[in-house]
Each structure stands twice: as structure tokens, then as C-alpha cells.
Copies of this chain bind each other. A is one copy, B any other.
Amino acid sequence: MDRKVTLAHGDGGELAHKLIQQIFVSAFGNETASHFDSAFLSVGSGEIAVTTDSFVVHPLFFPGGDIGKLAVSGTVNDLSVAGASPLFLTAGFIIEEGFPLSDLRTIVRSLAREAEQAGVHVVAGDTKVVEKGGTDGLYINTTGIGLKRKETGIAPERMEAGDAVILSGTAGDHGIAILAARGELGLITDLKSDCAPLNQMIDRLFQDGIDIKMMRDPTRGGVATTLVEIAEDFGAQIELTESRIPIRNEVKGACDILGFDPLYLANEGKVLLIVADKDRGRALEVLHATPEGSQATLIGKVTGRGHGQLVLETPLGSKRRLHRLSGMMLPRIC
């Protein structure tokens, strides 16, 4: 087999067949290349949930993960926070001519391994090859299909004053890890991306009967933008206590140097939860018992309904309103 991807790998002929057979079919356990094209699935009764995401992260490999792991985490988490159990993934690859086959194999295996650990099946895929300069290495789209959980209680209209706002761990790790991996900013750090599928952690919360009213993964735009969306889209006043928000020292340091606000940095393995006040202690207990949620923290509360806004209480006791991320901070972060 050639050592680089060529345009002929994308033309639907002999080489394309071999590429799919040798790299994709073997990784995902589909029977044949023909079966990689489309799949029939039994999902049982009930509503299905669907989400789609394209991944264009640069660089493709970074501390804590790679684009393959990210493509599983991002889509699995989208389904999970929507209140669904992820079951199936499709994976579409757009590959640049000249891309090393060994890197492709590594990424495909990483995607397959991560999917297996998350308990989701990669059921269909597609590869396209574009000429050199037509893309930047590799992009992946994953579409996730899950089954809607029955009676989750997730309903943003149920948010009320007193509800707890919980972040499942430290903010901004993914954003700074990617920046550091680019090597453009003279930033040297041991920090890893938090990139991880969270469906099993979220399962525990439901199994324990925690009253979750709203859940989101704070990816692009970070914790602040995600909470502004929740506040504005569903008319909730939310107040964060800045000093409570867990942020690693490496992230704090990098943000100080670079002039970024960690609340606007992307996370790829975190969830924001709005839970009934009575359940906040138990929610934190459940989260702390999971590897992904060991640093979960109560970071704020819902203070009322009506005209939705997000307010940050600073360590000095003053309050300021936060808005959505505005203007480019970090392209190609996921």
C-alpha cells in the first residue's frame, strides 16, 4: 500500500476500495467496504436523537487526544447533554492528497477505540480526497444517533430561582492545550486537552435520579457563551461566582500572558448542569466518583426567571453582565 493518500484513493475505484477495506473496515469492524456505505439499525421504540458536527481542529494531534478522539467526544457529548443515550456514529473523512497513511490509520484507530470505550458503534462512513491545498490535512464529520431517554426531566422551562449551576471540572483546558500544541505562542505546558466522551458520567447522574433541568457541553465559546445561550434562549437569570470556577494554574497563567478569558475558552470534556437545589450535593457526589467529574464544582445559581442574562460576581464582590463570545479568539479549536 502506498504511504500517502493520493487523489486516486478518492475516486471510488480500486484504490478507494482498498483504502476503505484496509484502514476503515478493519478499525470499525464492519464486514466489508460495501457495508461501510450505509447501515440498517434497530433502535427500539421511542424517539431517536440526531446531531452532527464537523471537526477541523488544528493541529490534528495534541496533548490529550487527536481529531479522531475529538470527533467521538464532541458528538457523543452533544447527544448526551440533549438527554439521549448515544448508540451509533457515522464518520465522513475529507482527506488532503499527500496525507500520510500512517497518520490516517492512527486517527481512524483512535476514533474507533474511543467509540468502543463510549459504547457507540461506527456504522457508516465515507472518504473524499481533495487535491493538495484543497484542505488542511484532514477534516472529519461525525453524526450521532441516540435514543431519547424516557422521562429525563430535562426541560429548561423548569429552571427556577435557587437551582444550582454545576461545572463538571476545570474550564479552558482544551483551548489552551490546542494553542500550546500549535507552538505559535511560545507557550510550553504539560496541559492536556480534556477531550472525552461524557455519556457514561451522565448516565450515572440519571441512574441516581438527579433532577437535571438543563445540560450543555461548553465547547466553542466556552462556559460563558454556553450559559449566556441558556439564559437568553430560555429566560433565566444566572449568576456565577468567579472565584468558584475551577481553572488550572497552567490555564490561568497562559490566559494572563495571552490576554484570554478562560470562561470563553473551549472545553471538550466538560458539562454544565442546572440541577434542582435539593439535588446539588448528591449531583456533586455522583460526579466526584467518576474520572471525568472528579473536579466538579458548584459555580453559580439561577436567581430568577424572566429577562434572561448571565451575571458574574467578581472576587471583589462587584457584578458584571457577561455576553456571548464576540469576535474571533481561536479558529480551528475543534
| Chain A residues proximal to chain B, CB less than 8 Å | 6-8, 10-17, 32, 34, 37-43, 45, 47-56, 58, 78-79, 82, 84, 88, 90-94, 97, 123-126, 128-131, 133-136, 139, 141, 143, 145, 148, 219-221, 225, 229, 233, 264, 266, 323-333
**Is the beta-carbon distance between A126 and B52 smaller than 8 angstroms?**
yes
Complex CA distance for A311 and B286, rounded to whole angstroms: 64
Q: Which residues of B contact A327 (CB under 8 A)?
A: 8, 11, 13, 15
Q: Which residues of B contact A90 (CB under 8 A)?
A: 50-52, 143
**Is the beta-carbon distance between B126 and A233 smaller than 8 angstroms?**
no
Complex CA distance for A130 and B332, rounded to whole angstroms: 6
Considering only CB atoms, which chain B residue lies closest to A52 in the complex? B90
Distance from A261 Cβ to chain B, minimum over Cβ atoms (Å) = 12
**Is the beta-carbon distance between A134 and B136 smaller than 8 angstroms?**
yes
Considering only CB atoms, which chain B residue lies closest to A91 in the complex? B52
Q: Which residues of B contact A128 (CB under 8 A)?
A: 54-56, 139
Indicate whether A37 sits within 8 Å of B14 (C-beta atoms), given known contacts A7-B328, A32-B233, A134-B136: no
Complex CA distance for A326 and B13, rounded to whole angstroms: 6
Report which residue of A17, A50, A233 has the largest number of chain B beta carbons within 10 angstroms of its beta carbon. Answer: A50
**Is the beta-carbon distance between A94 and B92 smaller than 8 angstroms?**
no
Report which residue of A11, A82, A88 has the largest number of chain B beta carbons within 10 angstroms of its beta carbon. Answer: A11
**Is the beta-carbon distance between B43 and A331 smaller than 8 angstroms?**
no
Considering only CB atoms, which chain B residue lies closest to A83 in the complex? B40
Complex CA distance for A175 and B128, rounded to whole angstroms: 16
Considering only CB atoms, which chain B residue lies closest to A145 in the complex? B50
Indicate whether A332 sits within 8 Å of B134 (C-beta atoms), given known contacts A11-B221, A221-B13: yes
